[in-house]
C-alpha cells in the first residue's frame, strides 16, 4: 500500500469519527450550543480543553521554532504552561460561579454596561480571528503534504470539515469531538518521538533521551548538536543568544494571554460545579504536559537529523549531493515537500552539492568559500511549520506512523479552530444579537444566528489563512498579545477590583488599540514616508518585539482603567455586592446560575 493511500485511511477515519460524534452530540438548544448543557465531567473537560489548547501552534509550529532557534524559544513552553496556572487560580472558578455563557456576557454584567459588552466582543473577535489564522495555516500545510494538493486546496478542505462538525454540533458536539482529537493528536505526537529517541539515544522516553548520549558518537546529544550547528555558523542550540528583556515580556504576554483567551475560558462554563472548573484546569495541565515535555526533544532531535542529512559526512566533510537527493530513498521526503512549496534548495554554484550553512555569518561564509562550497546557503527554504509533520519521513519511520502524524496534525489544528469559531459565533449571536440588537429573538432564532455567524467566521478565517502574517506559532503569538492587552485585564479587574464601567471600557479600548497599532507598525503594515526602517525611526519599536508587546498593552489597560475609574463615579452598591459574592468561597461547591 502506497503512502498516499495510508494517509487517506488515517485522515479519513479520523474525520469520520469527528463528524460521527458531532451528529451524535448535536446541539438542540442554546445551552447545549454555548455550554454543552453544563454537564461535562472535569476529566473529560480537561481533555477537551487540552485539545482546544494544543493547536497547530503547539503541534505543528512550536517544535519547528524550537528546532531552529533552540533554548530561546522555550519561552513558548514556559508562557503557555504558566498561563494555565493563572487560569486555574485566578479566573476559571470565579467565572464559572458567575454562571454566564460567554466572556463578553460576564464583562457586560459585571461592568453594568452594554458598551463594555460590545467592546469585549470586538476584543474577542480580533484576538480569536488572529488566532484562527494560525490554525488555518496549519491545516493548509498538513493537507497540502499528506493529500498531495496545494496549500490553498488543503485549507479549503479543512474549512469544509470544520464547518461540518462545528456548525451543527456547537459546544456539545465540539467537546466530545475534541476528546477524540486529543487522543489522536497525543498518539501522533509521542509515537514518532519514541521511535526517533530510540534511534538516536536508545531511550524510549524522548524527554530523557534529550539529556542522554547520542548512540552513534557516544557524546551527549545536546553537546553534539551544539557542536555541529556552531560549526555551520549557527548559534549554539542550548545557549541564550536573545534579548532577555523581550524574553521576559514575551513569556508574560503568553501567560496572561493564555488566561484571557475566550475559547479556553468558555470550556470552564461547561462543567456542573464551580469546583469542577478548577479540577478541569488541573486535568488540562496534565494532558498538555504529555505533549509539552516531549516537544523540546522533538525539536532538538529533528534539527540533528536534518543537519546530518545535509552533511552526511559531517560538518567538516562534504554536503549532500544533488544525485543523492534525487536518487537516494532517504531523501524522498525532500522531493515530496518541495512540491508543496514549503521546502526548497538550489545548487547556486553548480558544483553538484547543496551546502547548508549560516550565510549571514562572515566567518562561516569565508570558511565555506575556502572549502569550495560557495558563499550562499543553498537550502533556500525550510518552512518551520513542516518540521513535525516531516519528522517521521526524515527519520525513515514506517508509513503508518506518517499517516498517524497526518491525522494528528489535522486534529490539533481543527480542534482549536472549532473552539475559536465557537467563541466568535457565541459572541456574535448571544452578545450582539440577543444581548443588544434583537433581545426578543427566540431560542431557535438565536441558534440559527449562531450557526450563520460561525459559517461567516469560517469563510473569513479561510481567506485570511491564505496569506498569514507569519508561521503558525508566530501568528498565534500575536493573538495572545491581543488577548493579554484587552481581555485579561478586564477579567481580573472585574473579579478582584472595584473598577467601574467607564474605566473598564477605556482600559480595553486603550490596550487593544495601542497593541494593534504597535503590531502594525512593527510588522511594517503601515506606510511611513521617507524611512526605510520604521524601527530605526522609532527606538521603542526597535526595543520591544511585536509578539512581546501584549504585556505592555496589559499595563496600559490597567493604568487607564484605574485612572478613569478614580476620576468618575464609583460602582453601584449592587455591583459591589455582586463582585464580593463571586469572590467569597461560600457556596463554591455548587453552580450559581445567572447570579
Q: Is the pLDDT of residue 347 over 80?
A: yes
How large is the average pLDDT for residues 470-487?
Answer: 74
pLDDT value at residue 335: 83
| Contact (Cβ atoms closer than 8 angstroms) between residue 372 and residue 390 | no
Q: Name residue, grid cell 519547528.
A: 64
Which tops the pLDDT comparison, 147 or 77? 77
Which of the four pLDDT bands, split at 50, 70 and 90, describes residue 542? Answer: low
pLDDT tens column, 25-64? 665 555 555 555 566 788 888 888 888 777 666 777 778 8
Which residues partner with 343 through β-bridges?
Answer: 382
Q: Is the pLDDT of residue 578 over 50?
A: yes
Q: Is the pLDDT of residue 543 over 50?
A: yes
Q: Name residue, grid cell 466568535.
A: 424
What is the maximal distance between C-alpha atoms in the chain?
80
Q: Is the pLDDT of residue 217 over 60?
A: yes
Closest CA to 127 of 559, 544, 487, 560: 487
Strands (DSSP E) found in 115-268: none
| Contact (Cβ atoms closer than 8 angstroms) between residue 482 and residue 145 | no
What is the rounded CA–CA span in Å between residue 437 and residue 129? 22
pLDDT value at residue 530: 39
Q: Name residue, grid cell 445567572.
A: 594
Question: What is the three-class DSSP state of 524?
Answer: coil
What is the rounded CA–CA span in Å between residue 169 and residue 423? 13
Q: Name residue, grid cell 465540539.
A: 174
Lookup: cell for 245 = 528583556
> What pTM was estimated for this model as a whole?
0.79
Lookup: cell for 421 = 469559531
**Phi/psi at 409 (5° precision):** -60, -40
pLDDT tens column, 111-133? 999 999 999 988 988 888 877 77
Which tops the pLDDT comparison, 594 or 553? 553
Lookup: cell for 130 = 488572529
Which of the four pLDDT bands, split at 50, 70 and 90, describes residue 272? Answer: confident
What is the rounded CA–CA span in Å between residue 480 and residue 591? 29
Strands (DSSP E) found in 271-334: 320-321
pLDDT tens column, 348-391? 988 899 999 999 899 999 999 988 898 899 988 888 878 888 88
pLDDT value at residue 390: 85
Lookup: cell for 156 = 479549503
Which tops the pLDDT comparison, 589 or 180? 180
- Among 97-106, 220-229, 533-542, the minimum mean pLDDT is found in 533-542
| Contact (Cβ atoms closer than 8 angstroms) between residue 240 and residue 72 | yes
Spatial neighbors of 435 by CB under 8 A, at least 6 apart, are 104, 105, 108, 114, 117
Q: Is the pLDDT of residue 297 over 80?
A: yes
pLDDT value at residue 90: 83
| Contact (Cβ atoms closer than 8 angstroms) between residue 229 and residue 236 | yes
Cα–Cα–Cα angle for 391, 397, 403, rounded to 5 degrees: 75
Question: What is the three-class DSSP state of 550?
Answer: helix
Beta strand 320-321 pairing with 353-354: antiparallel
Which tops the pLDDT comparison, 356 or 340? 356
Average pLDDT in the chain: 81
Q: Is 148 exposed, middle or buried (0-12, 13-18, 19+ CB in 10 A)?
A: middle
What is the rounded CA–CA span in Å between residue 111 and residue 123? 16
3-state secondary structure 464-495: HHCCCCCCHHHHHHHHHHHHHHHHHHHHHHHH
Q: Is the pLDDT of residue 593 over 50?
A: no
Which of the four pLDDT bands, split at 50, 70 and 90, describes residue 166? Answer: low
Which of the four pLDDT bands, split at 50, 70 and 90, describes residue 594? Answer: very low
In 347-471, alpha helices (H): 362-371, 387-394, 399-426, 443-465
330 CB-side CA count, 13 A: 12
Q: Give the CATH architecture of domain 3-301+394-583.
A: Up-down Bundle (1.20)
In the chain the first and final C-alpha atoms are separated, in Å, by 59
pLDDT value at residue 584: 66
Which tops the pLDDT comparison, 169 or 188? 188
Q: Is the pLDDT of residue 529 over 80?
A: no
How large is the average pLDDT for residues 461-468?
Answer: 74
How large is the average pLDDT for residues 567-580?
Answer: 89
How large is the average pLDDT for residues 229-234?
Answer: 91
pLDDT value at residue 358: 92
pLDDT value at residue 167: 64
With left for phi above 0 and alpha for psi between -120 and 50, is residue 80 left, alpha or beta? alpha
Amino acid at each position: 500500500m502506497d503512502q498516499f493511500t495510508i494517509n487517506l485511511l488515517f485522515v479519513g477515519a479520523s474525520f469520520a469519527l469527528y463528524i460521527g460524534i458531532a451528529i451524535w452530540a448535536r446541539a438542540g438548544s442554546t445551552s447545549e450550543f454555548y455550554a454543552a448543557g453544563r454537564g461535562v465531567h472535569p476529566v473529560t473537560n480537561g481533555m477537551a480543553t487540552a485539545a482546544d489548547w494544543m493547536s497547530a501552534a503547539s503541534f505543528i509550529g512550536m517544535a519547528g521554532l524550537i528546532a531552529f532557534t533552540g533554548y530561546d524559544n522555550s519561552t513558548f513552553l514556559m508562557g503557555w504552561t504558566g498561563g494555565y496556572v493563572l487560569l486555574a487560580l485566578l479566573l476559571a472558578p470565579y467565572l464559572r460561579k458567575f454562571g454566564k455563557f460567554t466572556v463578553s456576557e460576564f464583562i457586560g454584567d459585571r461592568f453594568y454596561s452594554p458598551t463594555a459588552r460590545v467592546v469585549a466582543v470586538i476584543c474577542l473577535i480580533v484576538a480569536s480571528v488572529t488566532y484562527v489564522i494560525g490554525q488555518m495555516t496549519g491545516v493548509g500545510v498538513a493537507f497540502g503534504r499528506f493529500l498531495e494538493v496545494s496549500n490553498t486546496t488543503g485549507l479549503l478542505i479543512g474549512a469544509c470539515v470544520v464547518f461540518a462538525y462545528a456548525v451543527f454540533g456547537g459546544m456539545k458536539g465540539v467537546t466530545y469531538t475534541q476528546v477524540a482529537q486529543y487522543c489522536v493528536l497525543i498518539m501522533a505526537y509521542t509515537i514518532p518521538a519514541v521511535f526517533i529517541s530510540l534511534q538516536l539515544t536508545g531511550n524510549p522516553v524522548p524527554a530523557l533521551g534529550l539529556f542522554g548520549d547520542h548512540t552513534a558518537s557516544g557524546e551527549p546529544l545536546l553537546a553534539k548538536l551544539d557542536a555541529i550547528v556552531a560549526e555551520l555558523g549557527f548559534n549554539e542550540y542550548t545557549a541564550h543568544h536573545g534579548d532577555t528583556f523581550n524574553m521576559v515580556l514575551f513569556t508574560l504576554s503568553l501567560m496572561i494571554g493564555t488566561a484571557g483567551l475566550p475559547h479556553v475560558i468558555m470550556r470552564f462554563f461547561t462543567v456542573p460545579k464551580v469546583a469542577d472548573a478548577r479540577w478541569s484546569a488541573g486535568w488540562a495541565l496534565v494532558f498538555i504536559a504529555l505533549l509539552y515535555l516531549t516537544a523540546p526533544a522533538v525539536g532538538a532531535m529533528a534539527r540533528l537529523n536534518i543537519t546530518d542529512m545535509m552533511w552526511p559526512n559531517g560538518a567538516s566533510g562534504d554536503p549532500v549531493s544533488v544525485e543523492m537527493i534525487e536518487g537516494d530513498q532517504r531523501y524522498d521526503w525532500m522531493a515530496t515537500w518541495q512540491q508543496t512549496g514549503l521546502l526548497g534548495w538550489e545548487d547556486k554554484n553548480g558544483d553538484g552539492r547543496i551546502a547548508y550553512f549560516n550565510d549571514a555569518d562572515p566567518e562561516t561564509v569565508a570558511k565555506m568559500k575556502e572549502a569550495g562550497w560557495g558563499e550562499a546557503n543553498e537550502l533556500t527554504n525550510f518552512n518551520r511549520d513542516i518540521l513535525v509533520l516531516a519528522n517521521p519521513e526524515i527519520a525513515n519511520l514506517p508509513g503508518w506512523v506518517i499517516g498517524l502524524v497526518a491525522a494528528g496534525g489535522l486534529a490539533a489544528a481543527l480542534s482549536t479552530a472549532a473552539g475559536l469559531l465557537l467563541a466568535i459565533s457565541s459572541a456574535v449571536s448571544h452578545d450582539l444579537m440577543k444581548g443588544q440588537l434583537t433581545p426578543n429573538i427566540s431560542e431557535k432564532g438565536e441558534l440559527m444566528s449562531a450557526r450563520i455567524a460561525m459559517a461567516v467566521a469560517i469563510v473569513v478565517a479561510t481567506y485570511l489563512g491564505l496569506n498569514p502574517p507569519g508561521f503558525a506559532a508566530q501568528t498565534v503569538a500575536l493573538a495572545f498579545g491581543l488577548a493579554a492587552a484587552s481581555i485579561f485585564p478586564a477579567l481580573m479587574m472585574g473579579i478582584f477590583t472595584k473598577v467601574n464601567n467607564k474605566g473598564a471600557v477605556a482600559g480595553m479600548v486603550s490596550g487593544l488599540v495601542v497593541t494593534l497599532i504597535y503590531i502594525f507598525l512593527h510588522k511594517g503594515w503601515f506606510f511611513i514616508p521617507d524611512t526605510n526602517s520604521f524601527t530605526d525611526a522609532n527606538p521603542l519599536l526597535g526595543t520591544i518585539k511585536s509578539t512581546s508587546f501584549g504585556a505592555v498593552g496589559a499595563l496600559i489597560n490597567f493604568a487607564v482603567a484605574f485612572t478613569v475609574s478614580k476620576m468618575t463615579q464609583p460602582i453601584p452598591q449592587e455591583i459591589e455586592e455582586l463582585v464580593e459574592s463571586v469572590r467569597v468561597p461560600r457556596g463554591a461547591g455548587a453552580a450559581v446560575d445567572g447570579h
